[in-house]
Structure 1
Amino acid sequence: MFLIIAAAFNPHVKSFFSLPTQQRVTVGDHIRFKLEFPQNLLKQFSLYVESNEHNVLLLNGTDISGKVFSFVDGWPMATTPGKANIQIRLFGLFPVKNVKVEVVPQTKLVPGGHSVGVLLHSEGVIVVGQSIVEDNNGNKFNPAKDAGIEVGDVIISINGQTVTSDEQVAKIIDTMGNEGKNLELLVKRNGKKIPVTIKPIRCRETERFRIGLYIRDSAAGVGTLSFYDPSTGKYGALGHVITDADTNQPIDVSDGMIVKASIQGIQVGKSGVPGEKIGMFVNEKDFSGTIEKNTKYGIYGSMSGKIENPYYREMLPIALANQVKTGPAEMLTVLKGQKIEKFMVEIKKVLPQTVPDSKGLIIEVTDPRLLKKTGGIIQGMSGSPLIQEGKIVGAVTHVFINDPTRGYGCLIEWMLKETEGLNKPLISFF
């Protein structure tokens, strides 16, 4: 038992057991396994490669499928999309580890950093509050609450008519009430659609029929563009889901758009009080786009127009999840007007993830200038791209409420998955 425990803390043994069982790399990258063994011991290990295609992995320009090579011979390069299995052998005979390798085409994107105005319309209307309705006799009712309507519910239709705005809902309720009819609502809650019957009450104060609800049909705000793909017209922004301010529930997208925005001021973040960018929408047609998805990794859709980055005139490759590491990185965002600026951050931790999640990185702002101007990460920075060693690794998503100098980031690999299945880009939004 003592030997087992001692081995577990041995850096050589730990480096072996920390080797991945699966690895994704892009064309042009080298396959590397970090074994912290002395050179004479490392020579006792060899690697045997099997691949499903020719030239998936090359060593010194030679296809190594079906061949054995040593750790000291160098590292193979991924040259063709495909899959390979690398078997690590001891003394050339005993298999001790299998690593499945998937080689994918290199993806290049235009890094964002641009401030964008977000206009999002929900599917139906969202219930954000409840109220008492007093009739002409002074009796007080709450018809919607009594019928089972809850804050956070989404009203899809009333009496078979699809609803899209608060004005439309108010008109239907008053019309049905004057006709002495009940309201048959179709309500969406936790992904399920529920029929609800409500009898409207004539309100003494407004002289209209009401059911005692506060509702909202849209959301608006300022965020940051994460990336843009000119070949498809697809984009990603924000890095996190848009939720309703009152219910904190994700908004089901009916339609929406992003436009250019200008930052007019900054509220500095402090411990317990997140800061904020104060922005306004700009009526310029440099770029615009649709919002087709509102996911926990951000908003996604199609864009048209001129999208350029002043720091990177050429597109940058992305880093896959297993290629991101702790250390210095840079963040692109806007603090004043529409000028994109570059700031230094530190990736403190890369959280191990076998499935996509919006919190894959822990980052810390180290740039003195950014700390002085904002206190760290503030609202409106969500979606600001993170660049490390010339690759896009992810985007800022959340701030630590009690420490605004630190926050979470989402890996670009997970964000890109959300662009799959989007509609073709628009010729022009306006």
Structure 2
Amino acid sequence: MIGAFLLVSIMVLCVFQPFKEYVQIPTKITVFEGQGITFPATLPVQAKVGGTDTSVDVSHNDGVVAVSGRKTGQGKVLLEMAGFPIKQMNVDVIPEYKVYPGGQSIGVKLNTVGVLVVGHHLVDTVDGKHSPGEIAGIQVGDIITKINGKTVEQMSDVAPFVQEAGKKGESLQIEIAREQETIETELTPLKDKDEDSYRIGLYIRDSAAGIGTMTFYDPKTMRYGALGHVISDMDTKKPIVVQDGQIVRSTVTSIEKGSNGVPGEKLARFSNDREAIGDITRNSPFGIFGKLHKDIQNGKMDEALPIALPHEVKEGPAKILTVVDEDKVEEFDVEVVSKIEQKFPATKGMVIKITDPKLLEKTGGIVQGMSGSPIIQDGKIIGAVTHVFVNDPTSGYGVHIEWMLNEAGIDIYNTEDEEKAS
């Protein structure tokens, strides 16, 4: 009796794992026209197109179920075993989308909305040391947007209000943006006993600058994406709320090589002409976005490449495009160590490891300034480098290209056209 029980248990376990594979097959997939996706088929399963649909093709052979897109549209694929349905997949077939890969080193100049509070300081008055800003409840990371009802756009806008109020012995009505809130407070400037001027006890900033790497641009719309991660203020560590900004060409002058516990860095300078090659309209968790003023080339892959959806990314060899010497874009070997087939936007879509001996010798792995370097696999742009692992500079995270395109306002699913048609 016990022997029979064990035999049945073993048979159940043998069947369970293959059946589990089918349970894990998604009920909805998206494929590009002329491309497809495969699933393992360790059970005797038959795949067929549902109804009279002509958007998809299916096949089932050599232990694999293949679903491919014939033409743009929607279709259904039915999986059956012994005549019984076990899974239905809804398939969206969309047109192939191509963008130009980047890799160029770029300089980034951002102007904030209002002025950003990056610290407090004490004003040395005849009555002691005080910080009017701190007394008014203004915090590091707050953005001053209005003073006395008038919009503040840059640091030079602040001083006239402060000196005038100080001389009159009046308080300033301050409006600040904090997270998702708008807060009003009252601030009274104090006179510095050693200077004939008034102070508010706040360190403020209205712009930021740095370098990064171009990821892609779309020649049809001139929209681009770069960096692959949000730009945060160096002091407050909070994302910068962008009013506007520009990107310029930059030249890598040297590399500070990374090591365990110490991330490396590209050292670069803005181009001598400082000509803006594009504007910045968005600073999001997925990078910076805007429009280019003209076409740009990387000199390595100057042709549009198709993009890959998250489920198309696979573990294995890939390449990145980046600059490590002056303004020359080069191709380097990497490996996709693991991936996450994300259905919703998220920044950590894959783990990559630098395997190229030349790049490892030059940089030690992923360094600051390399963020945004496009990742190419099987002739497709799959994403961009975003972060380095501090304790292992040879490895880091990558973001799926789909989410960067979405943030750039590029609709690869043509949903706008569908909404207009409906």
- Fold match (TM-score > 0.5): yes
Greater mean deviation of Cα atoms: 307-316 or 126-135: 307-316
After superposition, the C-alpha distances for 1:111-150 in whole angstroms (9 at most, x for unaligned) are 0000000000010011100011121x24221221121111
Post-superposition shift, 1:195?
A: 0.6
SS in 2 for 1:174: helix
Map of 1:63 onto structure 2: none
Kindly indicate whether residue 51 of structure 2 is the aligned counterpart of residue 20 of structure 1: no
Kindly indicate whether residue 109 of structure 2 is the aligned counterpart of residue 108 of structure 1: no
Identity of paired residues, percent? 43
Q: Pick one of 391, 394, 401 that aligns with 2:383.
A: 394
SS in 2 for 1:347: strand
Kindly indicate whether residue 221 of structure 2 is the aligned counterpart of residue 222 of structure 1: no
Instruction: Give, in whole Å, the separation in 1 of the partners of 2:187 and 2:261.
Output: 42
SS in 1 for 2:54: coil
Shift of the 206–11 alpha-carbon distance from structure 1 to 2, 3 Å rule, reads: farther
Kindly indicate whether residue 104 of structure 2 is the aligned counterpart of residue 119 of structure 1: no
Instruction: Give, in whole Å, the separation in 2 of the partners of 1:58 and 1:280.
Output: 52
Instruction: Give, in whole Å, the separation in 2 of the partners of 1:168 and 1:287.
Output: 25
Q: Which runs of 5+ in 1 are unaligned?
A: 60-68, 423-430
Give the partner amino acid of 1:23: I
SS in 1 for 2:398: strand
Map of 2:40 onto structure 1: 34
Structure 1 length as normaliser, TM-score?
A: 0.88
Map of 1:55 onto structure 2: 54
RMSD of aligned residue pairs (Cα, Å): 2.4
Post-superposition shift, 1:210?
A: 1.1
Instruction: Give, in whole Å, the separation in 2 of the partners of 1:96 and 1:420.
Output: 38
Greater mean deviation of Cα atoms: 353-362 or 114-123: 353-362
Structure 2 length as normaliser, TM-score?
A: 0.90
Kindly indicate whether residue 69 of structure 2 is the aligned counterpart of residue 78 of structure 1: yes
Count of aligned pairs = 404
CA contact (8 A) 1:47 1:71 kept: no
CA contact (8 A) 1:50 1:86 kept: no
Post-superposition shift, 1:76?
A: 4.8
Post-superposition shift, 1:14?
A: 4.0
Instruction: Give, in whole Å, the separation in 2 of the partners of 1:420 and 1:90.
Output: 43
Greater mean deviation of Cα atoms: 235-244 or 310-319: 310-319
Give the partner amino acid of 1:49: G
Shift of the 116–179 alpha-carbon distance from structure 1 to 2, 3 Å rule, reads: same
Instruction: Give, in whole Å, the separation in 2 of the partners of 1:109 and 1:4.
Output: 51
Q: How do residues 14-413 of structure 1 correspond to structure 2 at under 5 angstroms?
A: 14-35=20-41, 37=42, 41-42=43-44, 44-50=45-51, 55-58=54-57, 75-92=66-83, 94-135=84-125, 137-284=126-273, 288-413=277-402
CA contact (8 A) 1:318 1:393 kept: yes
Instruction: Give, in whole Å, the separation in 2 of the partners of 1:8 and 1:140.
Output: 77
Instruction: Give, in whole Å, the separation in 1 of the partners of 2:165 and 2:14.
Output: 73
Q: Which runs of 5+ in 2 are unaligned?
A: 412-422
Map of 2:419 onto structure 1: none
Instruction: Give, in whole Å, the separation in 1 of the partners of 2:367 and 2:21.
Output: 38
SS in 2 for 1:176: helix
